[in-house]
Structure 1
Amino acid sequence: MGSQPVSLAFREATPEDIPLLLPLIKRAYRGSASRAGWTTEADLVADDRIDAAGLLTKISQPTGAVLVATDTSSGSFVSCCEVLHHPGSNAAYFGLFAVDPLLQGGGIGKTVLAFAEGYAREKWGVERMEMTVIWTREELIAWYGRRGYVKTGERREFPYAELVNGKALRDDLWFEVLEKDLVAAA
C-alpha cells in the first residue's frame, strides 16, 4: 500500500471503458484481491458489487457521470467514482468509489474525491455532496471525516435484494449518510 506517487488524468467514463472498470471496482470492494487495500468489503458482502448493465446505466445517466482516473505514465485505470446530481436540489451524490488496492494509501483517494467535488460544483453548481457508507466501516467513515464529511444522522437501507451474483454475509447492514458543505470547503 502507498507506493510511488502517481500522476493522474481525469475524464468521464464511456461504455467502452466498462471491461476495464468492472475488474477495478471488484478488486477494490470484493474478493481476496480487495484485501490488499484497506477499503475491502469482503467480510460484509460476497458479490460482484456491480455488473456491466448497472455500470452502463451509471455511465449513461444524464444527470451524472462515472469519472475515471488514469495513471498518466501507464494509461492504466487506477480509480473511479460516480457523481450524480439530484435534480432540483443543491446536492450531488458521490459513490462507486474505487482505488486499486495496491495503490491505496498513497493519496490517490484524496485527489479523486477532491476532483469529484470540484466537478460537481462546476458542472451543476451544487453546494453539498452526500454519500452513503456501510455503518460498520468506521475507519472509512473517519477517513471521510478528515476530508470534511459529517454524519447527518440519516440511515438508509442496505439493498439486499439488488446484490449482483452473490449475497450479504451479515443481515444487519445499513448505510450511514455523510455530507459535506462544498461552499464552505471552497
Structure 2
Amino acid sequence: MKNLSLRIANSSDIQNLVILINQAYRTNNAASWTSEEGIVAGTRINEEQLVHLLWQKNVWLFVADVKDNPQQGLLGCIGLTFQQDTVEIGTFCVASAWQNQGVGRQLLKYAEMKAQEICANLKCYEMFVLDARSELIEYYERCGYVKTAYIENYPVNANVGIPLIDLKLQQMKKLITQ
C-alpha cells in the first residue's frame, strides 16, 4: 500500500483511535497480527488513557489513512515515547482489514525515521511485545529488532486488559546506526 497519509494524531482522532486500537488488539480474523483475543480480555485503551497519552510532552502518536480518501477512516497508528537516547515504539496497530498489505511495515519505517528527525542523538529503538506472540516477535526480528534478556510482568494495574494466560512483556531493541 503506497498511498498512505501519515500525520500526528490530534484530539479529533480520539474516538476513532479508541475504536481502531480496541478492534485491532481485541478481535481476530485470519489476517490479524495484533490481535490479543484469547490471551487478553477487556479493552486495550479508553478515551481517558488516549487523551493522557496525547498530552505527554515526550510522546508522539502518528496515524495513517488513505491519502486520496481520508474519509475511509484510520488504517493504523504508532506511538513514540522518548527517553534520553532511546525511543520506545508502542500503541502500534493496523486495522484488521488492512493487515498483510504492508501498512504496518510502512508505519514502522515512518516512525523510525520520524524518531531520528525528532531526536538526533538516539542510540536505539525499543518495544515490548507479549511473550506469547511468537509470530509478532519473529516479525520484529525480521525488521532488525533483537530480543533482550529483559522481561517485565504484564502490567495488570495499567488498565490495558486482563491476561487470560501467564503473560510477560519481552523487550526488543534495534540499534540505530548512522
Give the TM-score of the pair, scaled to structure 1: 0.89
Within a 5 Å distance, the mapping from 1:34-113 to structure 2 comes to 34-36=28-30, 37-75=32-70, 76-86=73-83, 89-113=84-108
Secondary structure at 1:77's aligned position in 2?
coil
Aligned length: 174
Contiguous gaps of at least 5 residues in structure 2: none
- Give yes or no for the alignment of 1:169 onto 2:161: no
Pick one of 15, 26, 32 that aligns with 1:30: 26
Pick one of 143, 156, 177 that aligns with 2:152: 156
Describe the superposition over 1:23-67 as per-residue Cα deviations: whole angstroms up to 9, x where unpaired.
Answer: 110111003xx3352321011111110110111111111011111
Evaluate the alpha carbon distance shift between residue 48 and residue 6 of structure 1 in structure 2; reply closer, same or farther with a 3 A threshold: farther
Describe the superposition over 1:153-182 as per-residue Cα deviations: whole angstroms up to 9, x where unpaired.
Answer: 100121112225x53212x11100000012
Q: 1:19 aligns to what?
A: 15
- Give yes or no for the alignment of 1:179 onto 2:173: yes
Distance 1:178 1:167 in 2: 22
Give the TM-score of the pair, scaled to structure 2: 0.93
Cα RMSD for the two superposed structures: 1.3
Q: Which letter does structure 1 place at the counterpart of 2:141?
A: G
Percent of pairs with identical residues: 32
Distance 2:12 2:97 in 1: 24
Distance 1:17 1:119 in 2: 20
1:16 Cα deviation from its structure 2 partner: 1.5
- The answer (yes or no) to whether the contact 1:58–1:82 under 8 Å persists in 2 is no
Q: Which letter does structure 2 place at the counterpart of 1:10?
A: L
Q: Which letter does structure 2 place at the counterpart of 1:85?
A: F
Describe the superposition over 1:70-110 as per-residue Cα deviations: whole angstroms up to 9, x where unpaired.
Answer: 11122121010110100xx2100000101011110011111
Distance 2:29 2:50 in 1: 23
Pick one of 142, 152, 174 that aligns with 1:146: 142
1:6 Cα deviation from its structure 2 partner: 4.9
Moved more, 152-161 or 135-144: 152-161
